[in-house]
């Protein structure tokens, strides 16, 4: 009976143990924290006396971290990396990286287990990108010269050899890193492997070196003593000019970009970038970066401070005479201005004295200090019938050392360097001491050597020969422009249109191209003639509004080959061909407004295109192998013993006697038989 009562008593204790946490959970739920309660009774628990009871877990969620209590005991949240998925060493864990949607079939993911056979039948390609590690490390045979190690070699093709045995499996896998637990660890990793930031740099703590170094911005000082940098506008996200780009010390640069005006009449005299004065007047150049910091007086010295701009050590911009004016055809001539006079833009039916080109020539010494700055200006007139206008400007900066004269920039030494302009010129001759000597006449502007057509801001073909696009070694390109004609022009002036197209395609005619980037103009043997394909036929018009056999495209092909060492190849040009496209028919298309009555004077555009392609004709060296050694049969002297005498001097005679005896024996035996 006692035992029976004891069981009932214990049963009651168990019930109390079960319901106590429920009461606690209810109290927690009703608290001011708005916490939600979850009661889990799936896992059995064990009491101190060995009896089994349902386990109770209470989870409370609030605005902070989740806290879990088991049977009323608080448990701390897991630390960084605790309970993380284990990554096996030297294992490819990305078995199906295209399976991105749980419980659904991802398109073209053949390894997705949620995809049925019917799903896979509609796939066009399997996007599984998991790679199978190949233990065979292959190399091209051209980079292997000698191999004496006793390695097992598996030949998969004539040009590769592969290592079959790999005893370093870990080379194919990343090491498994540990999670970052502290800020210090994070900073150490960021400093070790690099970090980037989109924060705007703080210029207030900028440091100024004693002298300019390559790539440094060059500092300017304005009359207001405001500090700036010498700018070199360039294209940004579009063809429009970005004026925030600084010029870089010792880096020759040339940029072209467009300016856009909404109302030419009102903006002509007020827009800063239209005036040449904006780019050289009202500021001076600091000879060194440190000079402005060391020499600038304190602000409280008012008189000396505001007179600092007149300091003789600051570099003034000297305008190179004469100032040039460019006409509508692109020809540049002297403006006829008084020395030192540069007019501001003015409007009178057109905007005159507008800046079209500015070129800085900066002279420096060996110590990285600037000694002088010259400015070459090109002005012109722009006009617009609608007020809206878009035109181009050109900016150049070049550096020269003070004690260097007759300098010449090569395109390689000796082989061409990719991105450098191709040397091209014309053959000239002169009589020296009664002897005719030939040489190559080369333009002083390296961007005018070998060029292709360029379009202006409105898409028409550039007529200025100095504003074409240079052909740089190794850079394939395609460019074009538009020729505008009317309906009557298309029928009556086909030859004029053809001449205009060829002038745009050819530009200034060049006859020879240098084989190397440092070819001497006096050595004509290092120059190859440009091969011009002959144009067949002539323009004609059989139907009103059409021109037949019109050549409107030019393809320039450059064949080159690498010579010299395999580890230091030098590019040599073998030949250049001007290949004109076959003649095509230009037809004035009747579409929209072009079909209306009186539309014969409406302009229609036809494209003129040029392209450049480089062909690599390099050949790898052919291995030279020695001839196979001849196989000689040699027998020891006593090989036929005891039939011969073992003397080397009579060995040959003994062999002959032996064979003669054998043959005689066979003959006699045959006759007896």
Same domain, 465 and 514: yes
What is the domain extent for residue 550?
424-616
Same domain, 596 and 468: yes
Token readout for 104 is 């659904």
Looking at the DSSP bridge assignments, the partners of residue 261 are 389
- The answer to whether residue 414 sits within a structural domain is no
Question: Cα separations (Å) of 439 from 164, 346, 526?
Answer: 60, 47, 11
Same domain, 268 and 348: yes
Same domain, 494 and 348: no
Query: What are the DSSP calls for 385-414, one per residue?
Result: SSS-EEEEEEEEEEEEETT--S----SBSS
Single out the residue of 121, 94, 125 nearest to residue 108, CA to CA.
Answer: 125
Single out the residue of 568, 558, 564, 556 nearest to residue 619, CA to CA.
Answer: 564
What counts of helices (H) and strands (E) characterise the chain? 9, 34
CA distance 176 to 615: 46
Q: Among 172, 193, 228, identify where a domain stops.
A: 172
Run of H or E residues at 215 = none
Would you call 11 helix, strand, or coil by DSSP?
A: helix
Same domain, 125 and 164: no
- The answer to whether residue 293 sits within a structural domain is yes
Neighbours of 583 (CB within 10 A): 20
Per the listing, tokens 């050392």 go with 401
- The answer to whether residue 255 sits within a structural domain is yes
Is residue 167 packed enough to be buried (19+ CB in 10 Å), middle (13-18) or exposed (0-12)? exposed
Same domain, 230 and 299: yes
pLDDT for 503 equals 86
Same domain, 121 and 138: no
Same domain, 334 and 388: yes
- The answer to whether residue 375 sits within a structural domain is yes
CA trace torsion 275, 280, 282, 287 (10° rounding):
160
- The answer to whether residue 662 sits within a structural domain is yes
Same domain, 568 and 644: no
CA distance 379 to 382: 10
CA distance 198 to 189: 19
Looking at the DSSP bridge assignments, the partners of residue 169 are none
CA distance 337 to 377: 12
- The answer to whether residue 160 sits within a structural domain is yes
Alpha helices in 170-242 (DSSP H): 183-193
- The answer to whether residue 82 sits within a structural domain is no
Same domain, 46 and 149: no
Same domain, 584 and 605: yes
Run of H or E residues at 267 = helix 264-267
Same domain, 110 and 140: no
Alpha helices in 475-570 (DSSP H): 487-492, 494-506
Q: Is the dihedral of CA 503, 508, 511, 512 positive or negative?
A: negative
pLDDT for 157 equals 52
Question: Cα separations (Å) of 374 from 13, 256, 371, 396, 579?
Answer: 102, 20, 11, 12, 42
pLDDT for 16 equals 36
Say if CB 285 and CB 315 are below 8 A apart: yes
Sheet holding 527-532, edge to edge: 435-441, 424-432, 512-514, 527-532, 569-580, 553-564, 604-616, 477-485
- The answer to whether residue 588 sits within a structural domain is yes
Kind of pairing between the strands at 324-326 and 234-235? unpaired
pLDDT means per 10 residues in the chain (673 residues)?
A: 40 36 36 38 41 41 46 64 74 83 90 90 78 53 48 51 66 79 85 73 65 90 86 88 91 90 88 93 90 67 68 89 86 86 90 93 90 94 83 91 81 90 91 86 87 83 83 91 72 77 87 91 90 82 78 90 88 92 76 53 79 90 76 70 56 63 74 63
Looking at the 3D structure of the chain, how many domains does it have? 6
């Amino acid at each position: 009976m006692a035992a029976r009562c004891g069981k009932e008593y214990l049963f009651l204790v168990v019930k109390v143990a079960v319901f106590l946490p429920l009461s606690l959970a209810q109290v927690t739920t009703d608290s001011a924290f708005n916490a939600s309660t979850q009661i889990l009774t799936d896992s059995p628990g064990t009491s101190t006396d060995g009896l089994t009871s349902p386990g109770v877990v209470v989870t409370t969620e609030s605005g902070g971290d989740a806290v879990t209590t088991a049977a009323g005991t608080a448990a701390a949240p897991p630390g960084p990396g605790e309970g993380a998925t284990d990554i096996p060493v030297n294992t490819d864990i990305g078995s199906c990286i295209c399976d991105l949607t749980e419980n659904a079939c991802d398109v073209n993911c053949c390894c997705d287990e949620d995809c049925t056979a019917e799903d896979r039948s509609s796939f066009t390609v399997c996007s599984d990108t998991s790679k199978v590690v190949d233990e065979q490390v292959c190399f091209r045979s051209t980079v292997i010269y000698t191999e004496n190690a006793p390695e097992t070699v598996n030949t998969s093709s004539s040009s590769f050899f592969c290592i079959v045995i790999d005893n370093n499996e870990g080379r194919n896998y990343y090491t498994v890193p540990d999670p970052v637990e502290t800020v210090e660890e994070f900073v150490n990793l960021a400093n070790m492997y690099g970090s980037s930031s989109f924060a705007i740099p703080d210029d207030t703590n900028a440091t100024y070196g004693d002298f300019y170094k390559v790539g440094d911005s060059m500092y300017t000082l304005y009359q207001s003593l405001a500090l700036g940098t010498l700018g070199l506008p360039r294209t940004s996200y579009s063809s429009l000019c970005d004026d925030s780009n600084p010029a870089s010390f010792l880096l020759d640069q040339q940029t072209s970009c467009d300016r856009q005006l909404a109302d030419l009449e009102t903006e002509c005299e007020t827009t800063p970038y239209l005036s040449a004065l904006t780019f050289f007047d009202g500021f001076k150049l600091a000879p060194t970066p440190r000079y402005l910091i060391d020499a600038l007086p304190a602000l409280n010295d008012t008189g000396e401070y505001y007179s600092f701009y007149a300091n003789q050590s600051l570099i003034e911009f000297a305008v190179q005479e004469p100032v040039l004016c460019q006409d509508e055809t692109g020809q540049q001539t002297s403006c006829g201005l008084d020395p030192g006079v540069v007019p501001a833009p003015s409007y009178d039916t057109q905007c005159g004295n507008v800046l079209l080109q500015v070129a800085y020539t900066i002279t420096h010494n060996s110590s990285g200090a600037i000694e002088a700055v010259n400015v070459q200006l090109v002005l012109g007139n722009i006009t617009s019938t609608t007020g809206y206008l878009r035109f181009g400007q050109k900016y150049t900066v070049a550096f020269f050392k003070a004690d260097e004269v007759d300098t010449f920039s090569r395109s390689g030494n000796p082989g061409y360097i990719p991105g450098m302009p191709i040397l091209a010129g014309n053959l000239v001759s002169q009589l020296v001491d009664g002897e005719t000597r030939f040489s190559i006449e080369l333009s002083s502007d390296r961007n005018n050597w070998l060029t292709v057509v360029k379009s202006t801001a409105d898409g028409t073909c550039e007529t200025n020969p100095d504003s074409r696009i240079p052909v740089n070694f190794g850079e394939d390109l395609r460019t074009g422009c538009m020729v505008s004609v009317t309906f009557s022009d298309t029928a009556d002036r086909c030859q004029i249109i053809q001449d205009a197209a060829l002038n745009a395609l050819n530009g200034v005619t060049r006859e020879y191209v240098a084989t190397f980037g440092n070819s001497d103009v006096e050595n004509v043997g290092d120059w190859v003639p440009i091969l011009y394909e002959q144009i067949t036929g002539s323009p004609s018009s059989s139907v009103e509004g059409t021109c037949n056999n019109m050549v409107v495209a030019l393809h320039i092909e450059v064949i080159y080959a690498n010579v010299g060492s395999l580890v230091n190849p030098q590019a040599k040009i073998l030949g250049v061909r001007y290949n004109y496209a076959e003649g095509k028919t230009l037809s004035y298309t009747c579409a929209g407004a072009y079909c209306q009555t009186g539309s014969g004077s409406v302009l229609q555009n036809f494209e003129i295109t040029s392209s450049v392609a480089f062909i690599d004709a390099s050949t790898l060296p052919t291995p030279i192998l020695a001839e196979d050694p001849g196989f000689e049969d040699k027998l020891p002297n006593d090989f036929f013993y005891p039939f011969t005498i073992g003397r080397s001097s009579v060995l040959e005679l003994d062999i002959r006697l032996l064979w003669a005896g054998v043959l005689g024996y066979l003959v006699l035996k045959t006759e007896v038989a």
